[in-house]
Chains A and B, each alone.
Chain A
Amino acid sequence: MKKIIIDPVTRIEGHAKITIDIDADNRVSDAKIHVTQFRGFEKFCEGQIYSQMPALTARTCGICPVSHAISSIKACDTLLGVTPPQAGINLRKIINLAQILQSHTLSFYHLSSPDFIYGFDAKKEERNIFKMMQTHPQMAKDGIMLRAFGQKIIQTLAGKRIHPDGLVPGGVEKNLDEATRDTLLAEIPNAIRISQESLAFFKTNLTKFQKEIDSFGVFPSLFMALVDEHDNLEHYDGKLKIIDSEGNVLQEHISPEEYKEFIGEAVEEESYLKSPYYKPMGYPQGMYRVGPLARLNVAKACGTARADNELLAFKALNAGKPVLNSFYYHYARLIEMLYAIEKIEALLKDEATLGEALHRTSKILKTRAVGCSEAPRGTLFHDYEVDKNGIIQKVNLIIATGNNNLAMNAGVKQVAQTFVNAEDVTEGALNRVEALIRCFDPCLSCSTHALGIVSSNIELRDHNKNIIQIFKRN
């Protein structure tokens, strides 16, 4: 009985290690991802004034600060009893979608595409972004261009690319003028071209990865996401909907304020990452998935023409039932990128977007509020309690990556059992274990509210949890 440890795990956002337990028959008995960082945002936010929360919580992460700012300002809106003007809502939606676009682009082009181009068994030195620049320069350029477009929108509308300060309770700080709007609209056709070519590339190459498709986190689970009033894809507003692996609706029309009735948060000894679960089914049976795969499984349609076309093909993968293969997170992510660009275009063309974008107010009307939005990696909750002066008394954050913790662990175990041979641990097998995690595109900085370091290790352990071998991953 021995144990394999992958530490650090590479090409993810944050620090983690993976342990693989080997039994006496040299078979994988268990595998787990351990998130080894801690920062304690929920605690040190206590005592701060509510208006600091968007800026403070955005510092949780350098990749998705916008998502935290969006959930935070929505919670602050509720504390103040303010409804942003339509322009403010539209601009927030555009900024949120730009964040999803730039984050998904990073995940696909910079972190995962080397696996799709060179295969999971390619040598490490030939399976990276630098090799990709040499062999697929246009694709590398497209990745840069698309991410830059998302960043430009955030910078233009919210002030800065990273940790923007234009997202505030009551709306956004700056109105959008026609000239700026037209500048952004001019870049839409190229962004759509890139997005469609990326989808075509991915779909064309799918046949090469049938074994990974069939073994990367394929299991029944629940799926949770926000949807709009027509059950369509929604990233900014809407109600929570939870379905099972057959597509049966377990909960719908849930207001995010009620999340505690349905979501429990378990803590495991070996990880700083919390394990949320669907309360009515208990822990750990109430495992659910969030993020692009869950959103496309839960939504009936995207609501934009090109993305809806792609969604039809996506839903056909499992004859209209929820797609259970975690490998298809990548596929869903690419469809969401296309959707985000189309939706940004529609929102920019909406004349209401050019109106006054901010209602200013500062009187606390409520002492508890929940802000919820769909971040790139899934549903994000900011739950604040304040006193009558707006001083934060209590904070609870449920982060997208945390929602997926149970599913990531189940997936790691499945991949390890499929590919890891304890007598001959290959680079390809270890890369696949990591690649399963990359399907979920976890942001460990966010989920543990921890410092962002991109690295992880894999540990091989015996049945007594003694380390037999450690595989350093960078």
Chain B
Amino acid sequence: MRVIIGYGNKLRGEDGFGIDVIEALQKQELPNTKLLSTMQLTPEIVLELLEATHIVFVDAAFSQTDHYALACSREIQKDATLSHHIAPQTILMFLSTLYEKEPTYEIFSMLSANFDTIEDKRSYQRSLNAVVAYLSILKS
């Protein structure tokens, strides 16, 4: 099974990118795909990933340049603490260490520095459409 996790906060402008992607995907009937929408990645989300063979993380990532470009932000968790938010790599480590699960994964990060509003709605929508198209055509 493929699991797509969109995470972010829709009250914080472009940080809601992952959530918007999930909302768009929910309008399609993607086979063998589970859609998850959450404000943050937290440890207990691993329990929803135990059946996943492939995980797609969709988020907005802070960047001073290249806004609305799609990238793969492999955020490394700098400290060994768990709290409000943990990185995708940490989720994968949980799955591997505790549950002996080694799913493949992809990370889509829309680069942004606008966490108050959606500054350029057209560019935002273009990025969103690109991710949705990729996830609904190539992987379904």
Contacts and interface: CB of A to CB of B under 8 A. Distances in A.
B32 interface: no
A3 interface: no
A163 B83 contact: no
Contacts of B83: 11, 13, 63, 106, 110-111, 452, 454
B84 A63 contact: yes
Nearest to B90: A130
A148 B44 contact: yes
Interface stretch (A22-30, A136-144, A280-288, A293-301): A136-144
Interface string B64-94: 0000000000000011111110000000011
B40 A162 contact: yes
A134 to B, nearest CB: 6
B40 A111 contact: no
Given A62-B39, A140-B98, A455 B93 contact: no
A10 interface: yes
B39 A162 contact: yes
Interface string B9-51: 0010000000000000000000000000011101110110000
A151 interface: yes
Contacts, number: 73
Contacts of B43: 110, 143-144, 147
Contacts of A474: 78-79, 81
B44 A144 contact: yes
Interface string A423-463: 00000000000000000000000000000101100000000
Interface in A347-405: none
A133 B94 contact: yes
A127 to B, nearest CB: 8
Contacts of B78: 474
B84 A454 contact: yes
A111 B81 contact: yes
A13 B47 contact: no
B97 A129 contact: no
Contacts of B84: 13, 62-63, 452, 454
Contacts of A454: 79, 81, 83-84
B81 A133 contact: no
A128 B98 contact: no
B46 A128 contact: no
B76 to A, nearest CB: 13
Contact of B80 (A130, A145, A147, A151): A130
B131 to A, nearest CB: 23
A134 B97 contact: yes
A10 B47 contact: no
A125 interface: yes
A379 B134 CA distance: 49
Interface in A106-161: 106, 110-111, 124-125, 128-131, 133-134, 137, 140-141, 143-145, 147-148, 151, 161
A452 B84 CA distance: 8
Contact of B47 (A111, A130, A145, A455): A145
Interface in A204-239: none
Nearest to A162: B39
Contacts of B44: 144-145, 147-148, 151
A110 B39 contact: no
Given A125-B80, A141-B99, 14 more contacts: A59-B11, A63-B84, A110-B43, A110-B82, A110-B83, A124-B80, A128-B80, A130-B93, A130-B97, A137-B98, A148-B47, A162-B38, A454-B83, A474-B81
12 contacts: A10-B81, A13-B83, A106-B83, A111-B81, A129-B80, A130-B80, A130-B97, A133-B97, A147-B42, A161-B38, A452-B83, A474-B78
Shortest Cβ-Cβ A-B pairs, 3 listed: A128-B80, A148-B44, A474-B79
